[in-house]
Structure 1
Amino acid sequence: MADQQDYLRALLKDFGEPTWEWAIAKAREMVDRLDNITLNIAVTGETGAGKSSFVNAIRGLQEPAEGAAPTGTTETTMEPTMYPHPTLPNVNFWDLPGIGTSHFKAKTYLKDVKCQNYDFFIIVSASRFKENDMMLANEIKKKKKNFYFVRTKTDIDVTNEERKGVTEEATLQKIRNNCLENLRTLGSPSVFLITTENLARFDFQELVNNLERDLPDNKRDAMVMSLPIHSKESLDKKYNIVKKAVWAVAFASGGIAAAPVPGLSLLCDVAMIVLFLIKCYYSFGLDDGSLEKLSKRVNKPILEEQQLEYRLLPHDLCS
């Protein structure tokens, strides 16, 4: 008993609060912030730039999956459309209409799409950034919002140039120089080259690193947890967030209080723990859909026994 109480006192010290009551109050605040903080990400650019495909890719979905944004060669987004994250509904991706169309004039675009609703903007282009993109960036800057230039469909250009004997490195440098030349009036903004077919290629991780740098802590965690796992670095970042959150959930749920410490309730909020574990389950890509995508990407079949075990996990937790 004494050893257990010494251990619990050490945990309390690590949590940085003088009493259990204060530690639990702080933990509940942290859990509420983790669950309730809202992040709204706007994806914009000209029609046909691949905005909807980007929204799907960053949410770990592909059309025709349920909840995926419709894609096509014509204008498919006629009004700002919110696509909540499949498993973290407090993280919302907004597919905005193409700028400069007959429905959304460039001069009134930000007002029409309600600029104030979004935390930051991702400006997408499939070729070179044009006058409308620069006008949009300048207006976003006036609103004191962050924006990021993303050049999509990079893999297509790399493949086409390789057929001509041009190396991937040379093609990427050419694309980057061309984008920066068109954006020279904005100074030297970063341009991130990506392909929605495989986020592990090119500059997607660098884009994520920049978003993390610019977001406040609470919104940064929400964004990192929402992204599909595309690299070891992205996996490590999710792990570190979960590692920090585990103690907060344990304290807030009363799980720590189940130990025989005088004056603490023996009740344990099992629902809070289950909800947290289910979020982790989906965030780490252990659901069937994510496992199947991973299997195709690495060309390794999923063992039926493993798939069945993972499929049953959330239901077992809730029962």
Structure 2
Amino acid sequence: MEEDLVSHRTPLSASFTSGVSYHRDGGVPLEVSRDLEKAVKEGQLLEVVAIARKVVEMASRAPVSLAVMGDSGNGMSSFVNALRGIGHEDAASAPTGVVRTTLTPARYTSPSFPNVFLWDLPGMGASDQSLDHYLRELQHSQYDLFLLIASEQFSLHHVRLAKTIQGMGKRFYVIWTKVDRDLSTTPLSRGLLLRNIQENILETLQKEGVHKPPIFLVSSLDPDLHDFPDLRKKLRIDIFNIRCSGPLEAMSYACKETINEKVASLKTRVLQNCPEDTLGSCGADDLEQYLRVYRGCFGIDDDSLLQVAWSTGRVVSEYRTLLRSQDLCGLRRADCRLRLATCSVMKMLLRLLRWVPWLGPRAVRWFARVTHKRMLHLVAQDTKGILKKILEDSTCPA
């Protein structure tokens, strides 16, 4: 459906505000953060799945700004129209021509990329100002991703732009926009020509210490050919990452901190009391039984993992392979300290200590508490790994 031109094109000074009040942890609302901490503390991993999906659904509506920039005459406005899937004759299209047509930044939208704003920026040759002044005036910090447009040659201006963007820690692509004309005017084979273009761009960037960016060779006249489909796919992936990486990192951090607090609390209780008084299990010597209790306490028991796998569309073995604590034998193999604490020699020594008046029983209880603290630590580490995978799987369905 054709939209009014005003909705596609707005001045650079237009501000983007959100009605959601975000927590300072980097993109998760405070109420949601509390719900997540509660779910992790109670070992409710299915609830963690639901919360992660809720957060990503909210983040997916966040605006993302893409800057289209390069030398004048490289076809930036034509590329903007091609990416939006509209022709130059469309009333909502970016103006194009052989003369400079973009003198001020203009914002466009496309139904193919909801809540994504394509900023068609003036070409570097659109005024007499120096490149340094151009870079200062473009307000790079307001853009999330840069599409560096080139054709005919990859100039020093492009390299300066790439170095500036890299120095800001932002992503950028190099997009060669007139590959159709290159193919029609060269005696080289298609494969050799495309390889030469890519190698020239990479060599020019690497000479100036710029890391290898994604490079796409496209034709704005044929937006379904060449690298255009790959470009759209890559854009969708990176737009998702731009929107969701912050909230996902915040959730991951919150999960780790909650697990650390839970472990600290349980260790304190184990030190103050006998393990059986703390968790109400059987005798302190039955480490296999205690391991099952600890796994259930953190929500990584077999039944819970099966439910999580069903919810995320994964096979349960993907989660079980992350566990060192599936059973006591596996946990002992994975940890030398626990293996030493539970070896035959140590068991024999502890049996002998029980017969030593006063000091012996105290030493045995102290050693049991140390062993249980180690088991708690190992189960907690497994839980962190499981939660990390749950967050990833909840936002990227199989």
TM-score by length of 1: 0.55
Q: 1:43 touches 1:96 (CA, 8 Å); kept in 2?
A: yes
**Offset, 1:139:** 1.1
Structure 1 match to 2:163:
138
Write out per-residue CA displacement over residues 109-161 of structure 1, whole angstroms, 9 at most, x where no aligned residue: 23212111110111101111111111111111121111111111101111222
Q: 2:47 aligns with which of 10, 13, 17?
A: 17
Q: 2:146 touches 2:171 (CA, 8 Å); kept in 1?
A: yes
Q: 2:218 aligns with which of 179, 194, 202?
A: 194
Q: 2:93 aligns with which of 68, 78, 83?
A: 68
**Offset, 1:175:** 2.2
Identity across the alignment (%):
32
* Distance verdict in 2 for CA 1:33–1:176, change over 3 Å: closer
CA distance in 1, matches of 2:84, 2:133: 29
Alignment of 1:220-299 (within 5 A): none
| Aligned pairs, number | 200
Q: 1:119 aligns with which of 129, 134, 144?
A: 144
Structure 1 match to 2:18:
none
CA distance in 1, matches of 2:100, 2:244: 32
**Offset, 1:70:** 0.5
Q: 1:174 aligns with which of 161, 185, 196?
A: 196
Which SS does the other structure have where 1:183 is aligned? helix
Write out per-residue CA displacement over residues 215-255 of structure 1, whole angstroms, 9 at most, x where no aligned residue: 5547389xxxxxxxxxxxxxxxxxxxxxx9xxxxxxxxxxx
* Distance verdict in 2 for CA 1:184–1:218, change over 3 Å: closer
**Offset, 1:82:** 0.5
Which SS does the other structure have where 1:43 is aligned? strand
Q: Gaps spanning 5+ residues in structure 2: where?
A: 1-44, 246-311, 313-398
Q: 1:219 aligns with which of 213, 224, 243?
A: 243
Q: 1:128 touches 1:178 (CA, 8 Å); kept in 2?
A: no
Q: 1:212 touches 1:220 (CA, 8 Å); kept in 2?
A: no
* Distance verdict in 2 for CA 1:198–1:87, change over 3 Å: closer
Whichever residue aligns with residue 132 of structure 2, its letter is K
Q: Gaps spanning 5+ residues in structure 1: where?
A: 1-14, 222-243, 245-319
Structure 2 match to 1:33:
59
Whichever residue aligns with residue 42 of structure 1, its letter is A
Whichever residue aligns with residue 115 of structure 1, its letter is H
Which SS does the other structure have where 1:16 is aligned? helix
Q: Do structure 1's residue 203 and structure 2's residue 227 form an aligned pair?
A: yes
Write out per-residue CA displacement over residues 48-67 of structure 1, whole angstroms, 9 at most, x where no aligned residue: 10100111111111111131
* Distance verdict in 2 for CA 1:78–1:200, change over 3 Å: same
CA distance in 2, matches of 1:87, 1:148: 19
